[in-house]
Chains A and B, each alone.
Chain A
Amino acid sequence: MPSLVRYPDRGDPILPEFVPNGDRTIDRNQISEMIIAKLSRRNSLDAEDHLAIRGLSMDFRHHFASSYLVREGQPPSRCAFLVEGYAYRQKLTIDGHRTICSLEVPGDFVDLQNIYLRESDHDVLALTDVISVDIPVAEMRVLAETAPAVGRAMWVDGLIEGAIFREWLLNIGRRNARSRVAHILCEFSTRLQAAGLAPELTADLPMTQEQLGDALGLTSVHVNRILRTMEAEGLVTRGKRQITITDWQGIRRVATFNPRYLHLHQEQPGKVVKNR
């Protein structure tokens, strides 16, 4: 059955200068700083690079949980940057079976590759309610090509995505089921901590058993049993749509987790950084 090429769900537009979030507001200056902080972790940037990033156009968008940020087959016109909430990439088989290929957290560009690829080869959906900014693809290309350090940072970001996919391939291909669950929890916590979003190495992963199953190649029944056992062992606690690590060292051991593949510190290329 031929797939329809549909334009992306753009989400609801929000007033550009003011994004209400409880008792806080987020403005475009803060978003620029988030983008600078993220790209600075991929490559060292200077004051001119910062200025170029601050000059980007941004449209604020709100997406409800389970809505589409990017659809497979669409030609990309804008690049989405996650400000609040989480998203995930998915691909479907012809009979509707889903794999969740990655998780995206605040501070991630959810489709940086679409700056240069002609159409998206996967869907990106909101895992929770999401606030994002849309930046025109054309502006991102100009930025990459006129501010080479920023271009390199984007390139490095893409390389790190590749490294994460390779680790997910190992996870699904060969890790035992228990280690798979532990590993995704460790990765999520570590990425949040690296982005300055979690004070310690514990985090609430807002995924259902079914979503975890789709991310790990396991039936939700198996995920349920593994989480139940981990809870009994004091490694995690769980609610209906969230899992919290309570014993970081324990979970890390079960996962045999090594954060090397996340390449967390690339600020000074050429300098070897010791892993924790």
Chain B
Amino acid sequence: MMPRYFFDLANHNNDVDDTGSELSHAAAARIEAVVFAGQYLSNNPEAVWDGSQFSVRVRNESDELLFIVDVTVRDMKKEQVAPDLHREPLP
């Protein structure tokens, strides 16, 4: 029996994986998360359009968060016009 990992999609809809997939180890889960993000986005490219956040979050069976794959699109024209809006916030 291989360990089970859970892959949640976090975007404007929060899509929690309650069944999971058996994979050999955490490194394999990291790879599958990236591949999954790519396959999902190739069918739903609008999920990262115009600043909306797209993430795949990987948990293990103990519900520990192991990895997050974040994909964003940055509109550079908008950033040029209003650079202040994109500056890192002060600590």
Binds B, one of A61-69, A142-150, A222-230, A259-267: A222-230
Interface size class of B (residues with CB under 8 A): 10 to 19
| Residues B36 and A221 in contact, CB atoms below 8 Å apart | yes
Chain B contacts for A220, CB-based, 8 A: 21, 32
Query: Are A224 and B19 CB-contacts (below 8 A) given A176-B43, A177-B43?
Result: yes
| Residues B15 and A219 in contact, CB atoms below 8 Å apart | no
**Bound CA–CA A178/B42 (angstroms):** 12
The chain B residue with its CB closest to the CB of A220 is B21
| Residues B7 and A221 in contact, CB atoms below 8 Å apart | yes
A209 within 8 A of B: yes
**Bound CA–CA A209/B22 (angstroms):** 10
Minimum Cβ distance to chain B for residue A178 (Å): 8
Chain B contacts for A224, CB-based, 8 A: 7, 17, 19-21
Please tell me the number of chain A residues within 8 Å of chain B, measured between CB atoms: 12
Describe A's contact surface by its main secondary structure: helix
Query: Are A228 and B18 CB-contacts (below 8 A) given A221-B32, A221-B33?
Result: yes
Question: What sequence of 0s and 1s flags, for each residue 167-210 of chain A, a beta carbon within 8 Å of any chain B beta carbon?
Answer: 00000000011100000000000000000000000000000010
Query: Are A218 and B39 CB-contacts (below 8 A) given A225-B9, A225-B15?
Result: yes
| Residues A222 and B39 in contact, CB atoms below 8 Å apart | yes
CB within 8 Å of A: which residues of B? 7, 9, 15, 17-21, 32-33, 35-36, 39-40, 43
Can you list 25 A-B contacts with CB-CB less than 8 angstroms, sorted by A residue number?
A: A176-B43, A177-B39, A177-B40, A177-B43, A178-B43, A219-B36, A220-B21, A221-B7, A221-B21, A221-B32, A221-B33, A221-B35, A221-B36, A222-B39, A222-B40, A224-B17, A224-B19, A224-B20, A224-B21, A225-B15, A225-B17, A225-B36, A225-B40, A228-B17, A228-B18
Closest 10 CB pairs of A and B: A221-B36, A176-B43, A219-B35, A221-B7, A221-B32, A222-B39, A220-B21, A219-B36, A221-B21, A222-B36
